[in-house]
Amino acid sequence: MSGKRILLGVCGSIAAYKSATLVRLLLKEGADVQVVMTEDATTLITPLTLSTLSKRPVLKDFATPDGQWNNHVSLAEWADLLLIAPVSANTLAKMANGFCDNLLTTTYLSAKCPVAVAPAMDLDMWHHHSTQRNIEQAKQDGVTVIHTTGRQYISCDSRPHHRAHRSCQVYQQSFLW
């Protein structure tokens, strides 16, 4: 992982707080991590937390408040891996259908590097036929779907046999690139 450039996408899922651990683990192995968040993600974990951990400004918008452009093409070219963890059902649907209405999905459509996602949603949302269709489409488009402990990266399921994402397992699977 040493020297690898990881573009970490963080979406609006309750599991977003686990991205802080993921950033820390990736940095510990010598990766360079740039975080791109969706607007919804910022309501669940602050950009300040992830920017402090990654030692880089977190990107969210196409332009900074002072008017500098966050170039999605340059971001995509910079990355050795685009890892979206957690990926929400909403962002997954956008990816599967080519919608690019935010910096993360626009960067995804420009990416030439490997792309991996760790889904995070309620179990009912995960099993919905639309989500399953979007997962299959993403796989056909070359996206690797990371599952943890043999189960999906479920965020808020109260049933005891389902567990939330384990940052360490997503981190370990990121070594595949």
Distance CA 51, CA 63 (A): 17
Catalytic entry in 11, 100, 113, 156: 156
Show the tokens assigned to 130.
């639309």
Is 156 an annotated catalytic residue? yes
Q: How many CB atoms lie within 10 A of CB 141?
A: 12
**Are 40 and 55 a contacting pair, CB within 8 Å?**
no
Distance CA 177, CA 162 (A): 27
Active site residues: 156
